[in-house]
Amino acid sequence: MRMVRLAVLAVIAVAVGGAGYVYRDEVAQKLGLATASAAEKGGAASPAASAQPQGRRGRLNPGGPVPVVVTKVAKKPMPIVIEAVGTVQAIASIQIKARLDSQIMKVGVEEGALVKEGDLLFELDSRTLKAQLGQIEAQIRKDQAQIVQAKRDTERADGLLTKGAGTVVQRDNSSTTLKSLEAQLESDEATRQSVLTQLSFTEIRAPVSGRIGSISSKAGTVVRIGDNTTTSALATINQVDPIYVAFAVPQVFLPDLRASMAKGEVKVVAIVDENRKQPGAIAFLENNVDPLTGTVTAKARINNANEVLWPGQFVKVEVVLGVEPDAISVPAPAIQLGPQGPYLFVIKDGVAELRNVVVKRTQNGESVIGKGLEGGEQVVTDGQLRLVNGANVGVRPATPETPSTAAAPPRG
């Protein structure tokens, strides 16, 4: 009888325990908590497993294949382009200043006007210098008349000395007087040239063709040489055609850039927007690398007759080093960033394979792969966030919202 009671109690205990486990699973499901057995039955991957992209290859998805968008990798010619942000600089920026103390009589140009080399900009008071010029020219005429008379006296002294009626002293005195007058004439002519030079300073002309800025001094203003500071310039002319675009090139591109420059002209395109692009070529490369930024400064000379580029403006710069004939490229959204660096998912036989790659450059929505990928393979361009290494996948067509070639920044 005691043995029968023990058997009944054991059956009751098993029944109660089983009910307890069932009750625990029901409560966990209502609270949104999955037990280990429920997760296995439902096929959901744990957050820890999702965070490990280097999982065991061949693991299947209990919940079914992960839908992804893929594209086939093909080798094709790709331009080798360096992209940078450049600053537009005037080739020449000249401050117009007075070179003598005078008064501005006339301003011959409007503010902001486009001027040509040699155009009259300012006219200064020249009356005093013109009077000095008249004086020195009169002195020159006097010197010339005295020289003519001295030559006649010298010829007369020579004739008298030949006939024995004159003396050597008289002849030497005449010759000395002539040479003294000739030296005086040279001195007066030099003074005349100096006055003419000073007089030319009263007409301030454009030294280069370009665009003039604000004019700080108007007609009637007295200008002095001692006031020629940076802020007291009469105006500033910027040469805008052609024009420079300065930009920084990472030092890793320096060998390729120098090699391209050795072969010939390196083309550069300054891009203001999609409709305004100005072509040019590299004209200058700095002779050292900035140790703080690891970049080298370059300048491109660009024709700017339409004045699309303006000094001080920021523009996008594309430097074309050449064309890589058999480049392996993938859409930029296919590249992901992980602890081991850039990676992507390659699809083989319906299974995702995580592949670490080396990205050489990214341009126009495409990333050029230097190592880790071969032509003809299929890579995932959308749906990577649900993938792990070895997951089963199902290929779905690209939608307008998620095109396989859409340009997007890599997701980590």
pLDDT value for 12:
41
Overall CATH class of domain 96-238: mainly beta
13-22, 212-221, 336-345: least confident range: 13-22
pLDDT digits (tens, 9 = 90+) for 316-325: 999 998 888 8
Task: Tell me the pLDDT band of 230, cut-offs 50, 70 and 90.
Answer: low
User: Closest Cα partner for 271 from 363, 181, 333?
Assistant: 363
Rounded to two decimals, what is the model's pTM? 0.64
**Residue corresponding to tokens 């009910």:** 19
Task: Tell me the pLDDT band of 50, cut-offs 50, 70 and 90.
Answer: very low
pLDDT of 252 strictly over 50: yes
pLDDT value for 401:
55
pLDDT value for 322:
85
Span(s) in the chain for CATH 2.40.50.100: 96-238
* Cis status of the peptide bond prior to 255, with omega within 30 of 0: no
Residue 18's H or E segment, with its range, is: helix 2-30
Tell me the mean pLDDT in the region 16-43: 36
The count of other CB atoms within 10 Å of the CB of residue 57 is: 13
Long-range contacts of the stretch 25-33 (C-beta < 8 A, 24+): none
pLDDT value for 229:
59
Chain CA centroid to CA 144, Å: 64
Tell me the mean pLDDT in the region 140-154: 93
pLDDT value for 400:
63
pLDDT value for 25:
40
2-6, 309-313, 365-369: least confident range: 2-6
Span(s) in the chain for CATH 2.40.30.170: 74-89+240-395
12-16, 76-80, 355-359: least confident range: 12-16
Task: Tell me the pLDDT band of 166, cut-offs 50, 70 and 90.
Answer: confident
Assess if CATH 3.90.1170.50 describes domain 74-89+240-395.
no
pLDDT of 5 strictly over 80: no
Tell me the mean pLDDT in the region 160-186: 88
Residue 347 near residue 353 (C-beta atoms within 8 A): yes
Helix axis angle, 127-163 to 168-200, nearest 10°: 160
pLDDT of 49 strictly over 90: no
Residue 266 near residue 260 (C-beta atoms within 8 A): yes
Question: Three-state SS for 118?
Answer: coil
